[in-house]
Amino acid sequence: MLRSHVLPVLALLVLLCIAPLVFYPIFLIKLLCFALFAAAFHLLLGYVGLLSFGHAAFFGTGAYMCAQALARWNLAPELALLFAVAVSAALGAVIGFLAVRRQGIYFAMITLALGQMVYFIYLQAPFTGGEDGIRGITPGHFLGVVDLSNPLALYFTVLAVTTLAFALVWRIVQSPFGMILEAIRENEPRAISLGYNPTLYKLAAFTFSAALAGLAGGLKAMSFQIATLVDVTWQMSGEVVLMTLVGGIGTFLGPVVGAFIIGGLEQYLAQSALPAPVILGAAFILCVMLFRKGVAGTAKSLLQNRAPKRSTPDNPETQATNRIVK
Amino acid sequence: MEIFGFPPQLILGQVLIGLINGSFYALLSLGLAIIFGLLRVINFAHGALYMMGAFAAWMTQAWLGLNFWAALVIAPLAVGLFGLVVERAFLRSIYHLDHLYGLLLTFGIALLIEGMYRYWFGAAGKPFTTPDVFRGIWDLGFVIVPKYRGFVVLASLVTCLAVWLLIERTRLGSYLRAATENPDLVSCFGINVSLLTASAYVLGAALAGLSGVLAAPIYQVTPLMGTNLIIVVFAVVVTGGMGSLSGAIITGYGMGVIEGLTKVFYPAASSVVIFVVMALMLLLRPAGLFGKEA
């Protein structure tokens, strides 16, 4: 499992280190933030089988809290990020506590509704500045040494933080805790009979996922020096679902690939005449109808069986793709 | 006479506004419940279908010069027909998949429809005139009802009742209910389940279209009028549970009234009160008010 991922991960890291030669650092930062956000979302969907349609609530909370700490309290960037993570995790614990009582479609609807509630609260709360958002952020010096006003320094700081976060996600899904999560996803009654409390494990995973999404939002606010309502909208929640779907559900690198594709697509489509929702909607339909394995999932199955197998309904592999994970 | 320091006229007025909002919640959640029963798909495109109904009404008025009654017939038919196309072209091929794919697919369809309408018609609202018959007010003595708003509540009540009778009391309805319980067995009796499934989606879509027509004179006709509404309706559906059609209708009206009353007693919370009620329901009764499964 580990060995099959070493090469792609190293290649990706090398590519990301030389990418600023070709692309603007701020564009790459956006991609990294989206990738971390998608990984946080996928931690729930891919490993616990829970589809959250309200993850923008945590992304946006991270952004607002980081912006608040940087712009109004003049905290150091690392402390501002920690604050953003802590508040997002707390919010995740509350929303998770309510949402893990239901599964499947209901879970998706509940997270969507609670995410919308968070949006309305931020819309009315005075500190968020309503439609204007929080502006006037000065990122300062990371750990007291790295000057974040330099775009390249900012980029490598964000790259370092996201890499660390990804390492943490990898560690978690490989840990006994991650294995229990997968066991609950595969067969919940059996996990219960083995003495595990699924609700508690789901809540822990939800909180952790919310914390990571908050970190992604905080990094975005710190880098773009603004936090706005856009980050809390249900469209943002939908976008992260699409990223994961395009990249491939159930693969570790899928969300990263999907985030890069959707983030890049958005940048490219900013000049097009058609509104972005049309393209995103079409991408959703295409993915669900024809491309359920996503990019990483397709690549994986191509690598695993170079000799093409005939796909029949009896083939366990075809059956497996009918489920949303693995 | 005052109730908790508020004049009763104010409270009754807000209850009435709540009943109007509740009419839309009830019609939309009834459609969602019918679709979910047979297709096992949560129709995220329901808000977009509602918006299409309002636009269809606007088109019959602005382009064809027809009156409101014509719109009330044409728009639900047009939206129902569109629903048929969606069901045959897309939804049909994903029934065997995890139910979450249905949510994702209809989410994509909603984004696509709303994006295209924005592209064609712009984001600004379209004017829709209230039909002449419904100008003015009815004074019921204890409360003043604008005629059109009273009509919306009545029309929605009658429609909900008619749909409920259709499904609970007719032969066709018994086929629908049987197919909800056990589609394989029903098809063994020579009933075309695929056709039933399609008609359930068409019925749900037509109900959304009808709500759109009813909403056109009250709310702004804009491409995004359905998006925020559908999330509220999801909260209504979670609160009521998917167990029964009458449950969906009752919860719809009830939530509308609760929202209206919140506008009197604590206006700042009126936009979130439905979500709070949903959260409370999850704490007390996770399956929802009328839900059967755990």
Q: What is the pLDDT of residue A33?
A: 95
pLDDT one-digit tens code per residue, A126-163: 888 877 888 888 878 888 788 888 889 999 999 999 99
Q: What is the mean pLDDT of residues A209-237?
A: 93
Q: Which of B108, B119, B231 sits opposite A288 (nearest CB)?
A: B108
Per the CB < 8 Å rule, is B99 touching A104? yes
Q: Evaluate whether B137 touches B146 at the Cβ level (below 8 Å).
A: yes
Residues of B in contact with A269 (CB under 8 A): none
Q: Which of B103, B279, B286 sits opposite A105 (nearest CB)?
A: B103
The arithmetic mean of pLDDT across residues B217-224, rounded, is 88
List the beta strands (DSSP E) in chain B: 137-139, 144-146
Q: Which of A109, A186, A235, A246 to mutate to test the interface with B (most CBs of B within 10 A)?
A: A109
Sign for the pseudo-dihedral over CA of B130, B134, B136, B140: negative
Calculate mean pLDDT across residues A67-94. Answer: 94
Q: What pLDDT does residue A306 have?
A: 60
Confidence grade of residue B293 (pLDDT, cut at 50, 70, 90): low
Alpha helices (H) along A125-146: none
Please give the ipTM for the structure prediction.
0.87
User: How does pLDDT run across B182-207, given as a tens digit for each residue?
Assistant: 888 988 988 888 899 999 999 999 99
DSSP state of B125: P
| pLDDT single digits (tens) B93-138 | 888 888 888 989 999 999 999 999 998 988 888 888 888 778 888 8
Q: Pairing mode, if any, of strands B137-139 and B144-146? A: antiparallel
Q: By the 8 A CB rule, do A261 and A279 touch?
A: no
Q: Are B42 and A109 inside 8 Å of each other by CB?
A: yes
CB pairs under 8 A between A and B: 131
In the Cβ-directed half-sphere of A181, how many Cα atoms lie within 13 Å?
24
DSSP collapsed to 3 states, B218-282: CCCECCCCCHHHHHHHHHHHHHHCCCCHHHHHHHHHHHHHHHHHHHHHCHHHCCCHHHHHHHHHH
Number of domains in chain A: 1
Q: Is residue A294 part of a domain?
A: no
Tell me, yes or no, whether A252 lies in a domain: no
**Chain A: residue nearest B233 by CA?**
A113
For B116, nearest residue in chain A (alpha carbons): A278
Residue A319 is predicted with a pLDDT of: 45
A residues 82-101 near B, CB within 8 Å? 98-99, 101
pLDDT tens digit sequence for B61-80:
888 888 889 889 999 999 99
Question: Mean pLDDT over residues B228-240, rounded?
Answer: 89
- Quick one: pLDDT at residue A326? 45
pLDDT value of position A316? 45
Pull the structure tokens for residue A25: 């650092």
Structural element, H or E, at residue B210 = helix B193-215
- Exposed / middle / buried, residue A285 (Cβ in 10 Å: 0-12, 13-18, 19+): buried
Tell me, what's the pLDDT at A322?
A: 57
With H, G, I as helix, E, B as strand and everything else as coil, classify residue B158.
helix
Distances (CA, A) of A36 to A7, A254, A258: 20, 11, 11
3-state helix/strand/coil string of A259-289 = HHHHHHHHHHHCCCCCCHHHHHHHHHHHHHH
Report the mean per-residue pLDDT for chain B. 88
Distance from CA of A94 to the nearest CA of B (A): 10
- Distance CA(A214)–CA(B107), nearest Å, equals 24
Q: Which residues pair with A147 in a beta bridge?
A: A141
In this structure, of A9-18, A29-38, A78-87, B127-136, the range with the lowest mean pLDDT score is B127-136
Please name the member of A116, A276, A322 whose beta carbon is closest to the beta carbon of B275: A116
Judging contacts by C-beta atoms under 8 Å, the chain B residues touching residue A283 are 108
Q: Do A121 and B272 touch (CB under 8 A)?
A: yes
Burial (CB count within 10 angstroms: exposed 0-12, middle 13-18, buried 19+), residue B168: middle
Distance CA A180, CA A196 (A): 8
Residue A314 forms part of a structural domain: no
Please report the sign of the dihedral spanned by the C-alpha atoms of residue A137, residue A142, residue A144, residue A150.
negative
The residues, any chain, with a CB within 8 Å of residue B205's CB and separated by 6 or more, are B31, B49, B79, B80, B82, B83, B84, B86
Measure B260 CA to nearest chain A CA, in Å.
17
**What is the mean pLDDT of the segment spanning B15-36?**
91
Of A109, A120, A322, the CB nearest to B238: A109
Distances (CA, A) of B163 to A1, A38, B26, B253: 55, 42, 12, 16
Per-residue pLDDT, averaged over A300-323, amounts to 56
Q: Mark yes or no for CB contact A285/B97 under 8 Å.
A: no
**Chain B contacts to A (CB-CB under 8 A):** 42, 90, 93-94, 96-101, 103-105, 107-116, 118-119, 227-228, 231-232, 234-235, 237-238, 268, 271-272, 275-276, 278-279, 282-283, 286
Share of chain B above pLDDT 90, in %: 42
Is A140 within the bounds of a domain?
yes
A275 in contact with B, Cβ within 8 Å: yes
**Predicted pLDDT of residue B270:** 83
Give the residues across from A227 on adjacent strands: A134
pLDDT at A148: 82
Decide if pLDDT at A307 tops 60.
no
Q: Report yes or no on A13 lying in a domain.
A: no
Reported confidence tier of residue A79, pLDDT bands at 50, 70, 90 = very high
User: Whole domain around residue A34: which residue ranges?
Assistant: 23-237
